[in-house]
Structure 1
């Protein structure tokens, strides 16, 4: 574990590096290059692991803690320049279940129109929307405690609202929002989101849920309808 002095140095170095380039530029300099080199090493290690479960555990326990101070410094001092370390850590945090930490980066990255590194085949906003939606839907499917909170899904929806993405991805997010609303007892809100999911993707798998919710909402006299 790094000493407090070392951690402070990493935060300050990251902050200064992030402040050295403007939006639309790519970061450079020794501090950023060192982190890129570390990232390359960590990627090679992950690539050598066959088990997805093991990869996630390594990210969560061993790798991600080593980027905490870099991320804090980069977010504090950054001006929006492209940072492949930051965006990769965002995805890794999602993989590891650190959704609050991933959102910290997503707010900054989306605001500054950053992109994911070349090995990812999706635009950044699409990845954020889909990864959060799929994590939430997986927890609903297995009856587990919600992996992603409703407020987090709402924020993801707001952050990615203006982004161009496949309708199927947007439908997944509305489906997750619908289930989260239903879990919170908001039948009308759930119905609105599930109907929107169906509009976007006829194969969203929500028709039975919509019928059930329409019956329940009409029975309570709220009269919510499709949007």
Structure 2
């Protein structure tokens, strides 16, 4: 553990060294001292085989570098800084996405590099997505705003489609968990557009069904009252008069 005085001196040294934009930082003694410490910590990590244990060790080591990072971000003028870039990557490995994205705007603004294989936007998109997926895998919450910030910071950068698709996928999953289905669907569709093997086709189908307007039931017709039919009454017929109408037959007389 470093004392408050040591942290202050480290921050001041970082600030002074970072202001030498025209002079490589390798000529700054405090920077060289930090590089020695960084190399030692890297050797320690190299001897750890478990990724889980490596992440835990990085969480243990990172606080030492915090004053240096603060000094560079406060007064830096964009000189390449391997310590700063290593800390950004380690923070992502350790699950500290907010800490990594604290460094990202500075690194992107000045075009700092992290390794020879990936550009900084490439590294940032890939590692943020992987960090978010690791958090989800162990049931930890993912800060949606950090995913959207990463998209915004790297939107115009040249990043492999498959890598960017993974970021859109995990953003879609996080949005869906938050109940923002329409926004999640847009992220899944973008992931599929970038990579047909992104593994989001079922997610898209489910959300499309969920968002499809449901047909409204037809309005119920009012029930008509049943007509009550009165029993038909037969008209009373006149009683037949005795005998038939007409002239009565004459009675026969004995002859």
Q: TM-score, normalised by structure 1?
A: 0.89
Query: Does 2:84 match 1:83?
Result: no
Do the aligned partners of residues 59 and 143 (structure 1) sit closer, same or farther apart at CA in structure 2, a change above 3 Å counting?
A: closer
Q: What SS does the corresponding residue of 1:71 show, helix, strand or coil? A: helix
Aligned twin of 1:21: 21
Aligned twin of 1:131: 127
Report the structure, 1 or 2, having the larger helix content: 1
Query: Does 2:179 match 1:185?
Result: yes
Do the aligned partners of residues 136 and 219 (structure 1) sit closer, same or farther apart at CA in structure 2, a change above 3 Å counting?
A: farther
Q: What SS does the corresponding residue of 1:91 show, helix, strand or coil? A: helix
1:216 to 195, 199, 210: 210
| Whole-Å separation in 2 of the counterparts to 1:52 and 1:143 | 14
2:67 to 69, 76, 90: 69
Query: Does 2:98 match 1:100?
Result: yes
- Work out whether residues 97 and 131 of structure 2, in 8 Å CA contact, stay in contact via their aligned partners in 1: no
In the TM superposition, residue 220 of structure 1 has moved relative to its aligned partner by 6.5
Which protein shows a greater Rg?
A: 2
In the TM superposition, residue 143 of structure 1 has moved relative to its aligned partner by 6.6
Do the aligned partners of residues 220 and 21 (structure 1) sit closer, same or farther apart at CA in structure 2, a change above 3 Å counting?
A: farther
- Work out whether residues 95 and 135 of structure 2, in 8 Å CA contact, stay in contact via their aligned partners in 1: no
**Structure 2 segments unaligned to the other structure (5+ residues):** 216-255
| Whole-Å separation in 2 of the counterparts to 1:64 and 1:160 | 25
Point out which structure has higher relative CO (alpha carbons under 8 A, 6+ apart): 1
Query: Does 2:42 match 1:40?
Result: no
Superposed counterparts of 1:135-146, under 5 Å? 135-140=131-136, 142=137, 144-146=139-141
Q: TM-score, normalised by structure 2?
A: 0.80
Structure 1 ranges of 4+ moved more than 6 A: none
Aligned twin of 2:250: none
Alpha-carbon RMSD:
1.6
Aligned twin of 2:193: 199
Count, aligned residues:
214
Do the aligned partners of residues 129 and 151 (structure 1) sit closer, same or farther apart at CA in structure 2, a change above 3 Å counting?
A: same
| Whole-Å separation in 2 of the counterparts to 1:49 and 1:189 | 40
In the TM superposition, residue 210 of structure 1 has moved relative to its aligned partner by 0.0
| Whole-Å separation in 1 of the counterparts to 2:90 and 2:208 | 38
Aligned twin of 1:224: none
